[in-house]
């Protein structure tokens, strides 16, 4: 739902020095992938009891590695000199949303 809102609300003419929309879309997609993996975990626990430990460890390592790498990339682009999204009127909301996700990522 948030992906649809981001795509419809964002004006294509209002861009800034960093790929903020792309970062937000991938970040939200990673959260959705984590949810899908949790549903898969329920199926594995129900039908493939012997493989649940391998599935849990594999999915945990995969999603945590991807989220950590994506948050590190987000920190690099957010705090770079190219980031002028706060000064451009059309990207204030995306700027605040990215700041929120990066802030939450520290915890």
Asked, for residue 2, whether it belongs to a domain, the answer is no
Asked, for residue 101, whether it belongs to a domain, the answer is yes
Asked, for residue 81, whether it belongs to a domain, the answer is yes
63: tokens are 């999603």
Asked, for residue 75, whether it belongs to a domain, the answer is yes
Cα 50 to Cα 29, 42, 104: the distances in Å are 29, 13, 35
- Does the pTM exceed 0.85? no
Q: How far apart are alpha carbons 19 and 24 in whole angstroms?
A: 9
Asked, for residue 7, whether it belongs to a domain, the answer is no
Asked, for residue 92, whether it belongs to a domain, the answer is yes
Q: How confident is the model at residue 102 (pLDDT cuts 50, 70, 90)?
A: very high
Mean pLDDT of the residues in the chain = 86
Inter-residue contact 34 to 63 (CB < 8 Å)? yes
3-state secondary structure 24-45: HHHHHHHHHHHHHHHHHHHHHH
Asked, for residue 8, whether it belongs to a domain, the answer is no
Q: What is the pLDDT of residues 36-68, one digit of tens each?
A: 999 998 988 888 888 889 998 999 999 999 999
Q: Note down the domain range covering 26.
A: 21-105
75: tokens are 């920190």
How many structural domains is the chain composed of? Answer: 1
Res 103 pLDDT > 90: yes
């Amino acid at each position: 739902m948030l992906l649809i809102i981001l795509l419809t609300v964002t004006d294509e003419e209002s861009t800034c020095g960093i790929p903020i929309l792309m970062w937000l879309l991938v970040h939200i997609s990673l959260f959705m992938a984590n949810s899908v993996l949790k549903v898969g975990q329920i199926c594995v626990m129900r039908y493939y009891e012997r493989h649940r430990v391998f599935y849990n460890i594999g999915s945990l390592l995969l999603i945590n590695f991807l989220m950590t790498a994506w948050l590190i990339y987000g920190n690099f682009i957010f705090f770079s000199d190219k980031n002028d999204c706060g000064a451009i009127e059309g990207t204030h909301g995306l700027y605040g949303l990215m700041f929120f996700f990066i802030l939450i990522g520290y915890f």
